[in-house]
Structure 1
């Protein structure tokens, strides 16, 4: 076990300076800093709680500035639970038996009222030994209320929580040791930015109109354009869900010849998305009824009885469905692959359900110049 200097003293070149002088040299406060963590599975951004855990925040920022985290691994994972990393020993595959023991005993506990909710970053301690935090940290992928009041939470994921989801899915042995651990390639510091809104939230209608979505189904591919001037929130919603991969692996679960095909129901997705991922992005949509006629090729949003009950499920008209006009929100149309719609007309159904599953394999986006 390493016995390193505490947070009251940090190294700066050949000198040893109090931590407050190190921060002053940066001319920023911890609250004004974010850490951009680039990993082999993607990039996420950490913001900090210096008012709750000043020692832990200062230590993390110093280590990040020194490059101490670069090359370390997320060596321990609990699928859809937590991910743990930052051990300097994890840089060396030859020391795998010691992973989880390095970089400890550097900072005293700073347990606070911070809750271990989805995205919380907290300090690892030696089991049964208070005040033993150090380089190592863990991030909660899902809420871990049993850890509240026991560990020093010092930050949260401001961007890229889906990257932590993927890291948590790394195959591991029965003890949680990652078999092929994700590598922290680099941690860089930047001035803090506000937590960004969901993707496409700030894109104006003119920009949204440049996107095309290609729906690759078992019967062929369809490309759609959007009507963001008529239904901007519906266009944003579809683009957001598609970009996040929510539609990939769902089914076209309803086909009514000469009327509509319907897909996008997350209950049909294989594999199913965990609830916490769904809660990240899925929201009910207020209606944006417009004058678009529901004719062959029109993309529109399915809903329940309530006008504001649309979430993820959509339909594409296979024929004249003008009885739906101004009752459902049309937000796009097919611009390539109309012949694929004709193939859906011939699908064998039981009632309105295809006898054989019709997979929506993936939805890909491209942006026109």
Structure 2
């Protein structure tokens, strides 16, 4: 599923002149400078799993459409009761699309690929799973358990070189990710391999401060 499954100056000058032709500008206060605007805190998502909690910080400045998409799924409760259905210990753990009985959930429309954002599929990053179509990602995601730079954006010349969109990183619970990557796996349901023999369930996903 993972593999089969980023005004001209001439117009501005009169506008500025018009804007300044009304009330006189206030005299600046000496010795005072405007305080810099505070940067909005990055959104975070807490995944409460049967093996422990994982907290992920998201990067809306790097992957705005992807982050908005993920937050919509989280807030709707979509991920609650889904599992990590594909676990490869030297690669990644993938989840967010199947229930514990391996029933695939209905998703929204796909989101555009935003892999060309300067982020790399390094250990601990979270990225969107997709099919061979670069723009087919919906709800499923994976967490890289090793550096997988071969999944990074290279060019838009082919589905493989488009890469996989990184949109955040684990900031707490990487030990839980390592527990998940170490579980016993095998064939189950429609999958011929890599499914945990004991389901690793996302009991709850929620946006946190």
Q: Is the pair's TM-score, using the shorter chain for normalization, greater than 0.5?
A: yes
2:105 & 2:62 partners in 1: Cα distance? Answer: 32
1:270 & 1:344 partners in 2: Cα distance? Answer: 18
Query: What is the 5 A alignment of 1:261-300?
Result: 261-265=93-97, 267-268=98-99, 278=107, 282-289=108-115, 290-300=117-127
Q: Is the counterpart of residue 258 in structure 1 residue 90 in structure 2?
A: yes
SS in 1 for 2:46: strand
Structure 1: 5+ residue stretches without partners: 1-205
1:245–1:270 CA distance, 2 compared to 1 (3 A): farther
Alignment TM-score, normalising by the size of structure 1: 0.40
SS in 2 for 1:335: strand
Q: Is the counterpart of residue 345 in structure 1 residue 187 in structure 2?
A: no
SS in 2 for 1:342: helix
1:216 & 1:237 partners in 2: Cα distance? Answer: 20
Q: Deviations over 1:94-152 (max 9, x none)?
A: xxxxxxxxxxxxxxxxxxxxxxxxxxxxxxxxxxxxxxxxxxxxxxxxxxxxxxxxxxx
Query: What is the 5 A alignment of 1:64-143?
Result: none
1:274 & 1:341 partners in 2: Cα distance? Answer: 23
Structure 2: 5+ residue stretches without partners: 1-38, 154-162, 187-192
Partner of 2:67: 235
Q: Aligned match of 1:356 in 198, 202, 206?
A: 198
1:353–1:273 CA distance, 2 compared to 1 (3 A): closer
1:271–1:340 CA distance, 2 compared to 1 (3 A): closer
Answer with 1 or 2: which has the greater Rg: 1
Alignment TM-score, normalising by the size of structure 2: 0.69
Deviation at 1:291, TM superposition (A): 2.0
- RCO (CA 8 Å, sep 6+): is it higher in 1 or 2? 2
2:100 & 2:51 partners in 1: Cα distance? Answer: 17
Tell me, yes or no, if the aligned pair for 1:249 and 1:270 is still in contact at 8 Å. no
Note the aligned Cα RMSD (angstroms): 2.1
Tell me, yes or no, if the aligned pair for 1:250 and 1:270 is still in contact at 8 Å. no
Partner of 1:226: 58
Q: Deviations over 1:274-308 (max 9, x none)?
A: 86xx5xxx121110012212111100000000001
Q: Deviations over 1:206-232 (max 9, x none)?
A: 65x532100011111000001111100
1:210 & 1:306 partners in 2: Cα distance? Answer: 29
1:337 & 1:274 partners in 2: Cα distance? Answer: 26
Tell me, yes or no, if the aligned pair for 2:81 and 2:203 is still in contact at 8 Å. yes
